[in-house]
Structure 1
Amino acid sequence: MSKKQFYTLPNDLPLESGSVLKTPTVAYNTYGTLNESKDNVVWIFHALTAASNVDEWWEGLVGEGKLFNPDNHYIVCANILGSCYGSTGPNSINPDTGKPYFHSFPNITIRDIVNSLIELRKYLGIDKIKMAVGGSCGGYQALEWLLMEPETIENYTICVTSPKESAWGVAVHTAHRTAIELDPTWNPDREDSGLEGMKGARQIGLLFYRNHEIYHQHQNEDNNEKTKDFKSTSYLKYQGEKLARRFSPISYYKLTEILDTHNIARGRDQEIKDTLKRIKQKGLVVSISSDLLCPPPEQQFMARHLPNAQYGLIDSLYGHDGFLLEYEKIGKVIQEAFPELDL
């Protein structure tokens, strides 16, 4: 187990928008010890509603005896800005007003988040990252960092991700936000603003994180006489309630906006493929065969244009969430791609 820690930046964080986020705090967990040569760092980036406790949400890959083992590696995972798990976000106090930001939390981007992580890296005394690993929007962060500090990250693994938010992804996130906006409680500045709407947003998300086949396997009705109280309905409502007990609706809304800003070519190139060609480090790009949200063609496009990347396709029915659940298969392809790292 690792205790959550907090680093408050000594200075304001300049944002891509031209604004600043005043002395933000980054919450993080570390596992293991940084060795004398400082060459055992594994940095893991979390996805949308996860947190820095990577040993809990990716327990199949992180922990004693696992692929990323704190006995050998110094593992770092930081909560992203805009979240509600310790890093500065909508529920944090705005230093200018002495009150929570709530809806006034500034617009930030994936690039802004990575800048905060770079400050954390410096604070922790890390010069090199042996392996950067991220799935979904964790992959967005990894890609940006590979471009922003190419001398820092030596190897990377990115799963179910893309070099820019797709039109499909923006559409899905827009549906999430519309569900929240339709909640009559959305506009007031309070912690539970839009809570019921977020439950609906989560239900929309679960349609794209999984797929037809997995719902058929687990939620199909075997009673031909049934006309209501369906398993799928109960499952989605349960998932909405479950998220509502642990997450901030304003954070959820803001984070989907942050995902939509993802585009590694912004300010760099006219073509995404040219930006991908800038990433020279050794890498692995992983797809889940049944992923609806970030389907395999997106990762295959990246693998074709990343100069030093291998590609792995995981056969799984679990859709986008497969990167969290198929840890044995993912661990195997990582080991096969990086035999020299002795993972």
Structure 2
Amino acid sequence: MRWLDEMANVTDPVPATGAWQPGDNPGHRQFFTFASSDPTVDGGRRFAVDSGATLTDVTIAYETFGKLAPDASNAVLLCHAWTGDSHAAGPAGRGHATPGWWDGMIGPGRPIDTDRWFVVCPNVLGGCQGSTGPSSPHPDDGRPYGSRFPVITIRDMVRAQARLADHLGIPVWHTVIGGSMGGMQVLEWAVMYPERVGGFVPIATCMQATAQQIAWGAIGRRALALDPRWRGGDYYDAEPGDGPGDGLAIARMVAQVTFRSDNVFTDRFGRNIAQRSRFGDRFGLWQQFEVERYLEHHGTKLGYRFDANSYLVIGKAMDLHDVARGRWHLEGAMSRVQAPCLSIGISSDMLYPAYQQRQITEMLASVGVPAGYHEIVSPHGHDAFLINLDQFAEPLADFLEHRKLP
């Protein structure tokens, strides 16, 4: 199994943060900064977030794929999930710890054909791969924000992306696409900026987080906060191995359980024991099942490329997600939408069950918005939108080109 090979190759202590930092190789990232702290630039306007705080010198890291048409009519916005980033396509390499998270979907001749479309993928506000987040230097003293970084919402992320679109000269996105947390951004784009969205594709997501979804997030946050090396969010000067890697790993392990289905875990691991040789035929309290070792590996692995505070901030934004907040009710919020929608669900998704994608379609249809639903039939659970690309490649390509709905 590839993850076992990866385990064998991971020997270095987990760094205090896996965040990209200024001075690191940018790879294919580009950067846009707005809300300057210099009062002579743009009037010194601050960027206000929903929690009431304001930010200055906000940077959004992003990558682009393809070429923008002279009239900007071929621009596609791609929104990433919780621990994703701007590197949606392309190999791992200098500046990019992993290959593009949707590499099979983006490129010449692929479903999102970059000979036809100009794709923009920004790292979200609050992220840790080049955009302003808790690990970024605070404009006042140059030290990481840490505990000073405010609570943000999905809407704050979208407002920052709107500033990026202005900068790129894109008045209207041909289509906005995203899965999981990316789908939350997609929905908010359609509601907040209906005149700037030509079509949208929310995948494996919801209009508002449910109590169970919030519960999963709360367990992960508590696990991370109980790590004494988290230090209340101010751990950035810690030596490798002395940061909140254990808390982040446990939080990720909890989430990893929700990303896959019971059948996949059973088929892949069953009840196999991983450490029989150490305990012989005796039972040991810390004797591991194979599934435990798998979860432990993925939890530890995240610490090499992600930041614990970003994990907390972004997870909280997902729990706060509710398109009806401040808009009276769901019907009132969704009635703002003007663009056609292709909603995509996953048959085995336990985190964002398929009924939530069907609800999106039904709600839009009830207010007169063209909407269609497509379902990925897969045993892989929530992660199927990153795995079973063949099942929605054609519907997505048809929607992009012809606004064809199932």
User: Which TM-score applies when normalising by structure 2?
Assistant: 0.80
Q: Which residue of 1 aligns with 2:73?
A: 39
Name the aligned partner's letter for residue 102 of structure 1: G
Instruction: Provide the rounded CA distance (Å) in 2 between the counterparts of 1:71 and 1:333.
Output: 18
The answer to whether residue 262 in structure 2 is matched with residue 212 in structure 1 is yes
Equivalent position SS for 2:229:
coil
Residues 258 and 350 in structure 2, CA contact (< 8 A), matched pair in contact too: yes
Pick from 238, 251, 257 the counterpart of residue 297 of structure 2.
238
Residues 272 and 290 in structure 2, CA contact (< 8 A), matched pair in contact too: no
Residues 6 and 26 in structure 1, CA contact (< 8 A), matched pair in contact too: yes
Structure 2 unaligned spans of 5+: 1-26, 37-45, 90-99
Instruction: Provide the rounded CA distance (Å) in 2 between the counterparts of 1:203 and 1:17.
Output: 29
Name the aligned partner's letter for residue 206 of structure 2: S
Instruction: Provide the rounded CA distance (Å) in 2 between the counterparts of 1:42 and 1:140.
Output: 16
**How far 1:10 sits from its partner (Å)?**
4.0
Residues 194 and 250 in structure 1, CA contact (< 8 A), matched pair in contact too: no
- Residues 226 and 212 of structure 1: is their aligned pair in 2 closer, same or farther, counting only changes over 3 Å? farther
Pick from 324, 328, 343 the counterpart of residue 285 of structure 1.
343
Pick from 184, 188, 198 the counterpart of residue 140 of structure 1.
184
- Residues 141 and 309 of structure 1: is their aligned pair in 2 closer, same or farther, counting only changes over 3 Å? same
Equivalent position SS for 2:195:
coil
- Percent identity between the two aligned chains: 34
Once the two structures are superposed, what CA deviation does each residue of 1:254-275 show, in whole Å capped at 9, x if it has no partner? 1111111211111212x21332
Name the aligned partner's letter for residue 320 of structure 1: H
The answer to whether residue 291 in structure 2 is matched with residue 247 in structure 1 is no
The 10-residue stretch of structure 1 (41-50 or 2-11) with the greater mean CA deviation from structure 2: 2-11
Residues 180 and 205 in structure 2, CA contact (< 8 A), matched pair in contact too: yes
Instruction: Provide the rounded CA distance (Å) in 2 between the counterparts of 1:76 and 1:230.
Output: 42
Q: Which residue of 1 aligns with 2:250?
A: 200
Once the two structures are superposed, what CA deviation does each residue of 1:9-38 show, in whole Å capped at 9, x if it has no partner? 144211112221112100000011111221
Instruction: Provide the rounded CA distance (Å) in 2 between the counterparts of 1:24 and 1:150.
Output: 24
Residues 273 and 302 in structure 1, CA contact (< 8 A), matched pair in contact too: no
Number of equivalent positions:
340
The answer to whether residue 123 in structure 2 is matched with residue 79 in structure 1 is yes
**How far 1:222 sits from its partner (Å)?**
5.9
Larger Rg belongs to? 2
Instruction: Provide the rounded CA distance (Å) in 1 between the counterparts of 2:271 and 2:317.
Output: 38
Residues 77 and 119 in structure 2, CA contact (< 8 A), matched pair in contact too: yes
Residues 35 and 55 in structure 2, CA contact (< 8 A), matched pair in contact too: no
Pick from 361, 384, 387 the counterpart of residue 322 of structure 1.
384
Q: Which residue of 2 aligns with 1:25?
A: 59
Instruction: Provide the rounded CA distance (Å) in 1 between the counterparts of 2:309 and 2:143.
Output: 15
What is the RMSD of the two structures over their aligned residues, measured on CA atoms? 1.9
Pick from 311, 318, 321 the counterpart of residue 262 of structure 1.
321
Residues 348 and 377 in structure 2, CA contact (< 8 A), matched pair in contact too: yes
- Residues 222 and 179 of structure 1: is their aligned pair in 2 closer, same or farther, counting only changes over 3 Å? closer
**How far 1:217 sits from its partner (Å)?**
1.4
Residues 229 and 235 in structure 2, CA contact (< 8 A), matched pair in contact too: no
